[in-house]
Structure 1
Amino acid sequence: MKNNHYFDLSPLKLLSDRLDRLIAGRLWLKVLIGLGLGVILGLLLGPEVGLFQKETVKVITAWLALPGHIFLSLIQMIVVPLVIASVVKGLAANTNMASLKKIGAFAVVFIIFTTALGTITGIGLGQLIKPGHHIDSAALDVGLPSDSGKLDKGFPAAEDVPEKLLSIFPKNPIASMVSGEMLQVILFAAILGIALLSIPVKQAQPLFDLLGALQEVSMRVVSWAMYIAPFAVFGLMTRLVANLGINVLTGMLMYVITVLLGLFILFLFYLLVVKLLGKIPIGVFLKQLKELLLLAFSTSSSAAVMPLTLQLTENTFAVRPAIARFLVPLGATINMTGTALYQGVATVFLAQVFNVELTLASYVFVVTMAVAASIGSPATPGAGIVILSMVLEGVGIPAAGVALLLGVDRVLDMCRTAINVLGDVALCCVAEQFISKDVE
Structure 2
Amino acid sequence: MEKKQDNKLIRQMLFALASSFIIGFALMMLNEKLNAGGQADTWNLIYSLLFADVTKESGLGILFVIQTLFLNGLKLIIVPLVFTSLLLAMDSITDLKKLGRMAYKTVGGFFGVYVLGCILASVTATLCVNTGIFTMSESIVRDTSNLTQVSSPNPMSILVAMVPDNLITTFSNNNAILAVVFIAVVCGLCLNLMGAEGEPFKNVVKSVSKMIQICVDFLINKMGPIAIFAMITRAMALYGLDDVKSVLVYVCVTIVALLIYLTVGYALVVFGTTRLNPFVFLKKIAKVGLFAFSTISSAATLPLNTKTTTKELGIKEDIANFVLPLGMTINMNGTAIMHVIGTTFIATVAGYDVGLTDLMMMSLLAIMASAGTPAIPAAGSVLLLTVVTGMGFTNEVAMMTYALILAINKPVEMVLTSLNVVGDASVALMVANSEGDLDKDVYYDRKKLA
Whole-angstrom distance in 2 between the partners of 1:233 and 1:270: 30
1:243 equivalent in alignment to 2:234: yes
Greater RCO structure (CA 8 Å; 6+ sep): 1
Q: Which TM-score applies when normalising by structure 2?
A: 0.61
1:60 shift after superposition: 6.5
Whole-angstrom distance in 1 between the partners of 2:208 and 2:199: 14
1:244 shift after superposition: 1.6
1:266 shift after superposition: 1.9
| Match of residue 17 from structure 1 | none
Quick one: which of 123, 126, 130 aligns to 2:129? 126
Letter of the 1:233 counterpart: G
| Match of residue 111 from structure 2 | 108
| Match of residue 27 from structure 1 | 5
| Match of residue 317 from structure 1 | 305
Quick one: which of 142, 145, 148 aligns to 2:144? 142
Whole-angstrom distance in 2 between the partners of 1:335 and 1:343: 12
Whole-angstrom distance in 1 between the partners of 2:199 and 2:46: 56
Please list, as runs of the form range in 1=range in 2, the aligned pairs for 1:429-440 lying within 5 A after superposition: 429-436=425-432
1:82 shift after superposition: 4.5
1:410 equivalent in alignment to 2:403: yes
Please list, as runs of the form range in 1=range in 2, the aligned pairs for 1:286-435 lying within 5 A after superposition: 286-292=290-296, 309=298, 311-312=299-300, 314-318=302-306, 320=320, 322-324=322-324, 326-331=326-331, 336-344=336-344, 364-375=356-367, 380-386=383-389, 406-413=399-406, 415=409, 418=413, 423-435=419-431
1:264 shift after superposition: 1.7
1:123 shift after superposition: 1.8
Whole-angstrom distance in 2 between the partners of 1:404 and 1:271: 32
Decide whether aligned partners of structure 1 residues 382 and 363 sit closer, same or farther in structure 2, where only a CA change above 3 A counts: closer
Contact persistence 1:131–1:349 (CA under 8 A): yes
Letter of the 1:106 counterpart: G
How many aligned positions are there? 368
Contact persistence 2:89–2:330 (CA under 8 A): no
Contact persistence 2:90–2:188 (CA under 8 A): yes
Contact persistence 2:117–2:337 (CA under 8 A): yes
Decide whether aligned partners of structure 1 residues 363 and 178 sit closer, same or farther in structure 2, where only a CA change above 3 A counts: closer
Whole-angstrom distance in 1 between the partners of 2:68 and 2:161: 36
1:246 shift after superposition: 6.0
| Match of residue 57 from structure 2 | none
Decide whether aligned partners of structure 1 residues 95 and 261 sit closer, same or farther in structure 2, where only a CA change above 3 A counts: same
Quick one: which of 190, 193, 197 aligns to 1:192? 190
Contact persistence 2:362–2:387 (CA under 8 A): no
Contact persistence 2:339–2:387 (CA under 8 A): yes
| Match of residue 278 from structure 2 | none
Give the % identical residues: 7
Whole-angstrom distance in 1 between the partners of 2:291 and 2:213: 22
Letter of the 1:165 counterpart: L
Letter of the 1:142 counterpart: T
Quick one: which of 286, 289, 297 aligns to 1:285? 289
Q: Which TM-score applies when normalising by structure 1?
A: 0.63
Name which of structure 1's ranges 248-257 and 59-68 shifts more when overlaid on structure 2: 59-68
| Match of residue 263 from structure 1 | 254
Letter of the 1:183 counterpart: V
Whole-angstrom distance in 1 between the partners of 2:84 and 2:391: 29
| Match of residue 298 from structure 1 | none
1:124 shift after superposition: 1.7
1:190 shift after superposition: 3.9
1:104 shift after superposition: 2.3
Decide whether aligned partners of structure 1 residues 178 and 61 sit closer, same or farther in structure 2, where only a CA change above 3 A counts: closer
Whole-angstrom distance in 2 between the partners of 1:121 and 1:134: 20
Whole-angstrom distance in 2 between the partners of 1:92 and 1:346: 41
Q: Secondary structure at the match of 1:143?
A: coil
Letter of the 1:191 counterpart: L
Letter of the 1:427 counterpart: G
Contact persistence 2:288–2:422 (CA under 8 A): no
Letter of the 1:312 counterpart: A
Decide whether aligned partners of structure 1 residues 116 and 47 sit closer, same or farther in structure 2, where only a CA change above 3 A counts: same
Q: Deviations over 1:305-345 (max 9, x none)?
A: xxx54x23544423956435554554569962122224555
Contact persistence 2:302–2:324 (CA under 8 A): yes
Contact persistence 2:91–2:191 (CA under 8 A): yes
Decide whether aligned partners of structure 1 residues 104 and 174 sit closer, same or farther in structure 2, where only a CA change above 3 A counts: farther
Please list, as runs of the form range in 1=range in 2, the aligned pairs for 1:216-255 lying within 5 A after superposition: 218-219=209-210, 222=213, 230-245=221-236, 248=239, 250-252=241-243, 255=246
1:271 shift after superposition: 3.2
Gaps of 5+ in 1: 1-20, 197-203, 293-307, 357-361, 391-399
Whole-angstrom distance in 1 between the partners of 2:365 and 2:212: 31
Q: What is the RMSD of the two structures over their aligned residues, measured on CA atoms?
A: 5.0
1:208 shift after superposition: 4.2
Whole-angstrom distance in 2 between the partners of 1:333 and 1:82: 16
Q: Secondary structure at the match of 1:435?
A: helix
Whole-angstrom distance in 2 between the partners of 1:64 and 1:406: 10
Whole-angstrom distance in 2 between the partners of 1:264 and 1:405: 21
Quick one: which of 92, 96, 117 aligns to 2:99? 96
Contact persistence 1:271–1:282 (CA under 8 A): no
Letter of the 2:15 counterpart: L
Whole-angstrom distance in 2 between the partners of 1:344 and 1:67: 23
